[in-house]
Amino acid sequence: MDWTDYDAALFDLDGVLTPTAEVHMRAWDVMFNAYLEGRDDHQRPYTEQDYFDFVDGKPRYDGVRSFLASRGITLPDGTPEDASDLETVCGLGNRKNDAFSAVLRDEGVTPYPASVALLDDLRARGTAVAVVSSSRNAPAVLAAAGLADRFEVVVDGQVAAAAGLPGKPAPDTYLYAAQQLGVTKERSVVLEDALSGVQSGRAGDFGLVVGVDRGAGEQALLDGGADVVVRELDELIAR
């Protein structure tokens, strides 16, 4: 890859820089299956495929809505301040976040070595970098992974909400990050492991959209809008 064609790299966080996507997956599994088991309409269990189809890469409450809609379940939205034991979209989302925060606190997180290698290479080249994550936990994850000082711009779920930006697969959060870095979308690279994320990069007409296959599948990422798919980010270091 010739990085001289680009001024910036815009990274998703969970599953691209850190293996926290696995923690999110476990937290969603625990929360949704406990909720479904408590219903009296004999819902089939939540599965890993449900995660990739309805939840992966989306803002937390959007993921709840999307999965519930797939099962024909309607709940009141509630508010982000809802207690985690409430049967609202926000209550379920907050219940999932409690589980995620507990794992992050107890186990910590180590970034992917290949992703750190690419960050090192980009820093040496002077390429601007940003994190664009749907998660409101992004600053805590970056701090736990020792990456907090690596990024000039972090656009997370809280920043998006404050700026009134729709979440992925809309392109707005990535476009906002490029704007904050002072670069054009045409000279920016989006790096994403989620289908909704590559759709976001494609919708924004960025210079290059890189899919990172952590389970979504190479063809699904290509079909979603990725220009190229890799398994590890050090494949993008010019040799």
Q: Give the per-residue SS3 of the chain.
A: CCHHHCCEEEECCECCCECHHHHHHHHHHHHHHHHHHCCCCCCCCCCHHHHHHHHCCCCHHHHHHHHHHHCCCCCCCCCCCCCCCCCCHHHHHHHHHHHHHHHHHHHCCCCCHHHHHHHHHHHHHCCEEEEECCCCCHHHHHHHCCCHHHCCEEECHHHHHHHCCCCCCCCHHHHHHHHHHCCCHHHEEEEECCHHHHHHHHHCCCCEEEEECCCCCHHHHHHHCCCEEECCHHHHCCC
- Would the pLDDT of 160 be above 90? yes
Percent of the chain scored above 70 by pLDDT?
A: 100
pLDDT of residue 105: 83
pLDDT of residue 43: 95
Which one has a higher pLDDT value, 166 or 1? 166
- Would the pLDDT of 65 be above 90? yes
* Residues acting as catalytic residues: 12, 14
Closest to 196 in 3D by CA, of 56, 87, 95, 14: 56
pLDDT of residue 156: 96
- Would the pLDDT of 177 be above 80? yes
Q: Which pLDDT tens digit goes with each residue over 86-119?
A: 999 999 999 999 988 888 888 889 999 999 999 9
- Give the mean model confidence (pLDDT) for residues 153-182: 96
Per the prediction, the chain carries an average pLDDT of: 95
Q: Which pLDDT tens digit goes with each residue over 3-23?
A: 999 999 999 999 999 998 788
- Would the pLDDT of 56 be above 90? no
- Give the mean model confidence (pLDDT) for residues 160-172: 95
pLDDT of residue 136: 87
- Give the mean model confidence (pLDDT) for residues 126-153: 94
- Would the pLDDT of 239 be above 80? no
Percent of the chain scored above 90 by pLDDT?
A: 85
pLDDT of residue 198: 97
